[in-house]
C-alpha cells in the first residue's frame, strides 16, 4: 500500500511539474511572438529618417554591439560546446579585470534533485521524472526540426545533427533509448547542477588575486523565526511559486550520504525558484573562497581583488536571467 501511495504521489508531482513547465514555456513563447508581431507592425507604420547607407551601417553596428558578450546555452550546450574559442591557449587570468555573477549556480541547486537527478550520486536521472519527459521532448523537438519554433526557443543542440533529415527514424530511436545524442553521456548541465557535480567542478576552480569578483544572490523566500516564508505577496510569478515552495521544503534523503560533511537542509531552503540562495554568493565547496557580504557599498571601499563581494537582492531567477529591468540595472552598474 505504501509503495502504491508513493508511486501515486510521484506521478502527481511529475504531472503538476510538467504542466507548470509547459504553461511557463507557453507564456515565454507567446510573449516573444507578441513582441515580434508588435515590432513588425511598428516598423511598417514608422516613418524612417533617411540617412546615407554607410552612416546607417556604422550607427547600427555601434548601437547593437554590447561591451560584454554573454554566452549561454540551455541544458549546458552553447556556442562553445565543441571546445574553447580560437586562441585560448595564449590567454591568462590577468585578461579578466572583473567577473560578475547574477543568480549564478556556483555551488549547485537542490532543484536538480526535485526535477529528477538521483541524490545518491548526482550524476544519473530517475527512471520516471520531469527531466526524463524534458529529455524526450527535446529530442523530438530537434528531430522535427521546425525552424520557426527554433527561432524562439533553441537549446543549442544543432551540432548533434538530430534532425529527421540527418538521423532518420532509427536515429531518434537510439536517442530516446539513451544510446546516442546529447544525453548519452554525463556531459550536460544537470549533472553539473547537483551539489555533488558542482563540488567536482569546483575542485578545479580558482579565485585569482588580480581579478575583482561580484555576485548577486536572489531570493523569493526568507527565514522568519526559523521558518522559510515565501514572497508570494511581493509579486512572484504564480507559475514559479510552485518551485519556490518545493525547494523551500526539500529534505535530503536520510538514507543517502550527504553531498558534503557539514550539509544541513535548512541552509539550502532559501531560494529564487531555480537556485538556492546559498549557492549564489561565492564558491563554498569543497573549499570556501574568500568572500565579503555587502550591505552598504560604502563599507567595502576600497574594493580589493581576489575577494567575492556578494549582495542579496529580492527577485526571481527568470526575471534576472531573461534580461529584465533588474538585470539592466546590474548590467549598467558593472
pLDDT mean values, one per 10 residues, the chain (334 residues): 65 71 66 67 56 46 46 47 66 88 92 93 89 91 89 80 93 93 84 94 95 90 61 58 83 94 93 90 96 88 93 77 59 61
Please tell me the distance from the alpha carbon of residue 153 to that of residue 139, in angstroms, as a whole number. 14
pLDDT at 222: 62
Q: Is the pTM of this model over 0.85?
A: no
CA distance from start to end of the chain: 57
pLDDT at 9: 66
pLDDT at 60: 44
Per-residue pLDDT of 22-37, as tens digits, reads: 766 666 667 666 666 6
pLDDT at 253: 94
pLDDT at 53: 47
pLDDT at 296: 86
pLDDT at 35: 66
pLDDT at 263: 96
Per-residue pLDDT of 133-157, as tens digits, reads: 889 999 999 999 988 888 777 777 8
**108 contacts 197 by C-beta, under 8 angstroms:** yes
pLDDT at 301: 83
pLDDT at 47: 45
Q: Which CATH class is domain 96-123+186-334?
A: alpha beta
**285 contacts 107 by C-beta, under 8 angstroms:** yes
pLDDT at 58: 45
pLDDT at 89: 77
pLDDT at 25: 66
pLDDT at 182: 87
Please tell me the distance from the alpha carbon of residue 221 to that of residue 216, in angstroms, as a whole number. 15
Amino acid at each position: 500500500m505504501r509503495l502504491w501511495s508513493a508511486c501515486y504521489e510521484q506521478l502527481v508531482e511529475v504531472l503538476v511539474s510538467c504542466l507548470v513547465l509547459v504553461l511557463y514555456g507557453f507564456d515565454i513563447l507567446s510573449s516573444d511572438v507578441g513582441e515580434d508581431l508588435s515590432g513588425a507592425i511598428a516598423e511598417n507604420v514608422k516613418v524612417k529618417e533617411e540617412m546615407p547607407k554607410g552612416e546607417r551601417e556604422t550607427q547600427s553596428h555601434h548601437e547593437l554591439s554590447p561591451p560584454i558578450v554573454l554566452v549561454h546555452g540551455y541544458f549546458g550546450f552553447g556556442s562553445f560546446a565543441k571546445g574553447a574559442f580560437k586562441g585560448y591557449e595564449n590567454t591568462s587570468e590577468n585578461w579578466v579585470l572583473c567577473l560578475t555573477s547574477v543568480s549564478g549556480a556556483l555551488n549547485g541547486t537542490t532543484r536538480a534533485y526535485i526535477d529528477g537527478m538521483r541524490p545518491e550520486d548526482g550524476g544519473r536521472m530517475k527512471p520516471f521524472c520531469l527531466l526524463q519527459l524534458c529529455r524526450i521532448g527535446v529530442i523530438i523537438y530537434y528531430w522535427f526540426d521546425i525552424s520557426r519554433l527554433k527561432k524562439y526557443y533553441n537549446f543549442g543542440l544543432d551540432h548533434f545533427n538530430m534532425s529527421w533529415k540527418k538521423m532518420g527514424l532509427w536515429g531518434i530511436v537510439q536517442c530516446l533509448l539513451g544510446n546516442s545524442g546529447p544525453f548519452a553521456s554525463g556531459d550536460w548541465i544537470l549533472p553539473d547542477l547537483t551539489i555533488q557535480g558542482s563540488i567536482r567542478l569546483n575542485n578545479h576552480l580558482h579565485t585569482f588575486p588580480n581579478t575583482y569578483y561580484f555576485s548577486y544572490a536572489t531570493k523569493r523566500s526568507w527565514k522568519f523565526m526559523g521558518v522559510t516564508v515565501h514572497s508570494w505577496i511581493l509579486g512572484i510569478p504564480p507559475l514559479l511559486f510552485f518551485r519556490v515552495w518545493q525547494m523551500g521544503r526539500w529534505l535530503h534523503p536520510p538514507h543517502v550520504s550527504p553531498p558534503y560533511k557539514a550539509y544541513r537542509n535548512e541552509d539550502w531552503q532559501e531560494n529564487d525558484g531555480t537556485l538556492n540562495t546559498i549557492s549564489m554568493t561565492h564558491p563554498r565547496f569543497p573549499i570556501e573562497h574568500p568572500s565579503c557580504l555587502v550591505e552598504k557599498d560604502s563599507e567595502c571601499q576600497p574594493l580589493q581583488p581576489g575577494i567575492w563581494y556578494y549582495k542579496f537582492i529580492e527577485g526571481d531567477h527568470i526575471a534576472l536571467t531573461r534580461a529584465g529591468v533588474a538585470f539592466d540595472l546590474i548590467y549598467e552598474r558593472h
